[in-house]
Structures are given as structure tokens and as C-alpha cells.
């Protein structure tokens, strides 16, 4: 056989093998059964994402431009309703664009403090958070909600965030249909006061869920520890509610103009860390193994707001491109492995594994680089599965299928030549 003919045949086999391998990968990822039995790799790394490594290790968090002057956070501490009403009145008087209250008030005492808070919450610039729960495909407002005494006649938005394990927050839904009505996420509703285009932009992106582009860490002196915010970076202005009220006169009458004020829990005092309303995010400095949750819910909302205002969205790579990349990996690896096998190295398998490790490093670097600097998320698990399976699938094709396909190709070729004669 001429070398050119051999090369062309090899390419045909590489093509057939890659198509079959990609199909196998597609079936593996779309099997309608609980995948832990057949895909333990994905299940094991469910709590991890390339995003975690990229955001925590590769981004420059000390960049002074990360400080967001448009968002001002008031730590509610142990909620004193009269203090809260007072703080809302102050920021409204000082021309805040909007006040987002990330707190639930479930039991009214019907006293003076409650009456004042109710009046403050009813201001048109105040948005109060609520949660929804999904049961058997139906979504309804959670029973764990603010009493109607407070939530009646107030503007509200849902505060639910997306997690795949109940602890790590990486996504949020901009819109959700609740009891037949499409409602806005808390961060979307709050941010739209400053930029009314935001809901339209999000609708045009046609995504049910958005990745949260975490850039800003949990502020607060007590949080200046590993793995929360070891460098003690401050990306949001945050003050405790008691200090804010005591020092309200230091803020000029228009200090909050064009500013979003978020009121939420960030710890009840300056003596010890509170673990309430605290979650894992990709900014956690310890991205693998057990760690301390690094961010309070209200700072997560602030990160979403900053992302929306900066139009700093993370774009997914479509699944069809991922399968195309997987196909290319299978194709290239088929050619490489075939050469290795034909040269009959002593350490063929070891060399193949070394090539896979190098490919892992290259693909990982590309994935991290893309998400860190280009806001482009590549489905790393799928393409790395292609790398991992490529040698085994090559061997299977080489030993079991290649001769059959060769016969088939030869038969067709002979038939074609006979036809020509």
C-alpha cells in the first residue's frame, strides 16, 4: 500500500472512530438514569468547577477598580426593626436610587417599631426579598416569608440562588414563574432602578440561568481570614446599622444619589464570625475539600448587581461546540495513538497517558484563561472526559472495529472499481 493511501485510510478510520466516540460521549451524558453508577467522575467533582480555581486563584482581586461605588451595604446585625426603619428613612432622604432589603420579617409584634418598619418598607424605592419553593414542578412562594403585615403593599423580588449541592452558589435565575406570574430576581429588580435596560438585556440572552461573575469578596474585619478574604480586601462600602444611624450626619444629603443600598445580614457583631446566611462561592480561597463558607447572601446579591450594571456576563460555550471539540480531541488522539502503537514503543501506554496529562494541562489552561480573562465558560468536564476516554476508545476501535470497517471500505472500493470497468 502506498504511504499516501495508508494516510488517507488512517484519516478515514480516525474520522469514523471519532464520530462513534463522540456519539458514545453524547449517549453517556444524556442517559435518562441516575448517572452516579456510570459517571462517578462527574458526580465526584460536582462540588468543583473550573470557575472556582479561575476566580479564586487567577483573578487579581487587589485591583482598585473593583471597588463598586454604586453599591452601599448596611449590615443589619441582630435585627432591630425600629433601627431598620430609621436606616431606610435616612437613605431614602439622602436620595438613594433604591433600597434592597434582604431580610425576612416573619412574626409581627404589632408595636411601634413594626408600624414604623411597615411604613418604611412601603416606600416605592424599597424592595423586600422573599423566597419561593419548587414542589413537583409547581413553584409557589415559600411559607418561610415575611408576614403580610410587612410585605403587603411593598415591592418584592425573589432571593433564591442556584446551587448544585445546596451550599455552593454559582448561578441565579433572572426570572421565575411563581404562581403563574413571571417575577424578577432580587438583584435584577434592584439593579433595574439604576439601569432600566437590564431586564431587556437578560431576556434577549434567552438563558434560564446565568452564571454569577463573582469578582468582589466578603468585606468586614472578621472576614479578613483564610479562606474568606485573607488579604482583607474591600470591594463594597459596608457599615453596621448601629454605626450608620449614629453617624448618619456624616453622609451628605445627596450622598446616596444614584447608589443602590442593600440591607442584609453580615454578622451580628464584631466579636465572632456568624455562619448564618453564609454560602460557598467560587471566591473561596480553599476551592477543594472542606472549607468555611465565604460569603453572606447579601454580598452575593451585590456581586450579581455589580455584574448586571457592568454588563459583565459570563457566556457559555454551546454544547454543539463542545462536542465538536470532543470530536477533534478523539480525532487527533487517534492519529497520535496509532503512530505510537505502530512504532511499537516499550512504554506505549505510559506515553499515551503522558500525552493525556499534557492535554489535560493545555485544556485546563485554556478553560481557566477563557473564563478568567474572556468571561467564556467551557464545559471542562465534557472535553476532559473525551481526553480520558480517547485511549480506551482508540484501542477498542483498533482491535474490534477497524478490520470490519476496513473490509466494508474495501468492498465498496472494489465495487466502485468493478463498476468503472
Partner 1 sequence: MKILRNLITSIVLMLTASVMLNAQDITVIGLEGEVYVMHMDGNKKQYAQLVYGPMKNAEMIVLKAGSMIKLVNEKKEVCTINQPGDYSISNLEFEITKDQSTFGKFYDYFHSFFSSHESTESKKNYKNTVYAISRGSMVSPSLDFPIEGVVPYGRLLSLPFIWTHDCESCTYELQIYDYSTRKTVFSVKTLDQKFDLENSDKYLKSGNKYYWTVQIEGQEVDTEKVIFTMSKKADFETTISTLKNDFSLASEQISEIGKSIYILSNLEQSGLLNYSILYGFHLKEKYPNNEDINNICDRQWYDYLLNK
Classify residue 180 as left (phi > 0), alpha (psi -120 to 50) or beta.
Answer: left
Binding mask 74-93 for partner 1 (x = CB under 8 A): ------xxx-----------
| Nearest distance, CB of residue 409 and partner 1, angstroms | 42
Q: Least Å distance between CB 246 and partner 1?
A: 10
CB 42 within 8 A of CB 28: no
Distance separating alpha carbons of residues 120 and 126, to the nearest angstrom: 8
Choosing from 110, 321, 373, 411, the residue that interacts with partner 1 (CB under 8 A) is 373
Mutual orientation of helices 319-343 and 348-374 as an angle, nearest 10°? 150
Examine residue 319 and tell whether it contacts partner 1 (CB under 8 A). no
DSSP letter assigned to residue 236: S
Quick check: 237 binds partner 1 (CB under 8 A)?
A: yes
Name residues contacting partner 1, limited to 261-280 (CB under 8 A): 268, 271-272, 274
Q: Which three cell numbers stand for residue 150?
A: 410587612
Nearest to partner 1 of 62, 204 (CB atom)? 62
Check residue 168 and report its DSSP letter. B
Window 131 to 160, contacts with partner 1 (CB under 8 A) = none
**H or E stretch covering 82:** helix 81-93
Q: Does the protein bind partner 1 through residue 63 (CB under 8 A)?
A: yes
- What are the two backbone dihedrals, phi and then psi, of residue 48, each rounded to the nearest 5 degrees? -120, 155
Contact between 69 and partner 1 by CB under 8 A: the answer reads yes
Cβ-Cβ contacts under 8 Å for 378 (sequence gap 6 or more): 50, 317, 322, 325, 366, 367, 370, 371
Considering only residues 3, 64, 166, 180, which one is a binding residue for partner 1 as defined by CB under 8 A? Answer: 64
What would the grid cell of residue 407 be? Answer: 473490509
**323 is an interface residue for partner 1 by CB under 8 A:** no
Question: Using the rule CB under 8 A, is 36 a contact of partner 1?
Answer: no
Please give the Cα distance from 389 to 230 (Å, whole number): 39
Q: Does 37 bind partner 1 (CB under 8 A)?
A: no
Site membership for partner 1, residue 361 (CB under 8 A): yes
247 binds partner 1 (CB under 8 A): yes
Select the residue interacting with partner 1 from 62, 124, 165, 204 (CB under 8 A): 62
Q: Which is nearer to partner 1, 324 or 358 (CB)?
A: 358
Residues 6+ apart with CB under 8 A from 19: 327
190 belongs to the binding site for partner 1 (CB under 8 A):
no
107 Cβ contact list (under 8 Å, min separation 6)? 147
Cell representation of residue 183: 417575577
Which of 14, 21, 50, 53 binds partner 1 (CB under 8 A)? It is 53
Residue 290 near partner 1 by CB under 8 A = no
The nearest distance, CB 113 to partner 1, in angstroms, is: 6
Hey, is 7 helix, strand or coil?
helix
For residues 181 and 46, give the distance between their C-alpha atoms in angstroms, rounded to a whole number: 32
Burial environment of residue 315 by CB neighbours within 10 A (0 to 12, 13 to 18, 19 or more): middle
Give the full edge-to-edge strand order of the sheet including 237-240. Answer: 155-158, 126-130, 98-101, 260-264, 71-75, 237-240
Closer by beta carbon to partner 1, 164 or else 365? 365
With CB under 8 A as the contact rule, the residue among 5, 65, 181, 344 that binds partner 1 is 65
Nearest distance, CB of residue 231 and partner 1, angstroms: 11
- The reply on whether position 113 binds partner 1 by CB under 8 A is yes
Count of residues interacting with partner 1 (CB under 8 A)? 36
Q: Residues in the site for partner 1, rule: CB under 8 A?
A: 53, 57-58, 60, 62-65, 67, 69, 72, 80-82, 109, 111-113, 221, 233-234, 237, 247, 250-251, 255, 268, 271-272, 274, 361, 365, 368-369, 372-373
Amino acid at each position: 500500500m502506498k504511504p499516501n493511501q495508508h494516510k488517507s485510510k488512517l484519516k478515514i478510520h480516525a474520522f469514523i472512530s471519532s464520530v462513534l466516540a463522540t456519539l458514545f460521549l453524547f449517549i453517556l451524558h444524556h442517559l435518562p438514569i441516575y448517572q452516579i453508577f456510570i459517571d462517578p467522575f462527574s458526580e465526584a467533582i460536582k462540588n468543583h468547577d473550573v470557575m472556582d480555581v479561575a476566580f479564586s486563584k487567577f483573578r487579581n482581586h487587589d485591583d482598585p477598580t473593583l471597588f463598586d461605588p454604586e453599591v452601599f451595604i448596611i449590615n443589619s446585625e441582630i435585627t432591630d426593626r425600629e433601627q431598620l426603619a430609621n436606616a431606610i428613612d435616612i437613605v431614602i432622604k439622602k436620595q438613594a436610587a433604591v433600597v434592597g432589603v434582604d431580610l425576612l420579617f416573619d412574626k409581627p409584634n404589632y408595636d411601634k417599631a413594626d408600624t414604623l418598619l411597615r411604613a418604611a418598607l412601603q416606600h416605592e424605592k424599597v424592595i423586600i426579598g422573599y423566597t419561593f419553593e419548587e414542589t413537583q414542578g409547581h413553584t409557589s412562594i415559600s411559607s418561610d416569608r415575611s408576614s403580610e403585615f410587612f410585605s403587603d403593599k411593598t415591592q418584592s423580588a425573589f432571593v433564591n440562588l442556584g446551587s448544585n449541592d445546596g451550599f455552593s452558589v454559582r448561578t441565579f435565575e433572572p426570572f421565575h414563574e411563581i404562581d403563574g406570574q413571571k417575577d424578577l430576581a432580587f438583584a435584577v429588580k434592584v439593579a433595574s432602578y439604576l439601569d432600566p435596560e437590564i431586564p431587556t438585556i437578560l431576556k434577549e440572552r434567552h438563558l434560564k440561568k446565568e452564571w454569577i461573575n463573582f469578582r468582589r469578596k466578603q468585606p468586614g474585619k472578621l472576614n479578613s481570614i483564610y479562606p474568606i478574604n485573607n488579604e482583607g480586601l474591600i470591594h463594597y462600602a459596608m457599615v453596621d446599622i448601629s454605626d450608620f444611624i449614629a453617624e448618619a450626619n456624616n453622609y451628605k444629603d445627596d450622598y446616596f444619589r444614584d447608589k443602590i443600598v442593600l440591607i442584609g445580614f453580615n454578622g451580628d457583631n464584631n466579636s465572632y464570625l456568624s455562619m448564618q446566611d453564609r454560602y460557598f462561592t467560587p471566591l473561596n480561597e480553599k476551592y477543594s475539600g472542606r472549607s468555611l463558607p465565604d460569603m453572606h447572601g447579601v454580598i452575593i446579591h451585590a456581586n450579581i448587581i455589580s455584574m448586571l450594571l457592568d454588563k459583565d456576563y459570563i457566556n457559555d460555550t454551546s454544547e454543539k461546540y463542545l462536542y465538536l471539540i470532543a470530536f477533534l480531541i478523539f480525532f487527533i488522539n487517534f492519529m497520535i495513538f496509532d503512530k505510537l502503537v505502530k512504532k511499537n514503543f516499550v512504554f506505549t501506554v505510559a506515553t499515551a497517558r503522558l500525552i493525556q496529562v499534557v492535554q489535560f494541562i493545555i485544556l485546563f489552561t485554556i478553560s481557566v484563561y477563557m473564563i478568567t480573562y474572556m468571561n467564556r465558560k467551557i464545559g471542562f468536564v465534557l472535553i476532559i472526559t473525551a481526553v480520558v476516554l480517547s485511549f480506551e476508545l482508540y484501542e477498542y476501535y483498533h482491535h474490534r472495529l477497524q478490520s470490519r470497517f476496513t473490509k466494508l471500505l474495501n468492498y465498496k472500493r472494489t465495487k466502485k472499481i468493478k463498476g468503472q470497468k
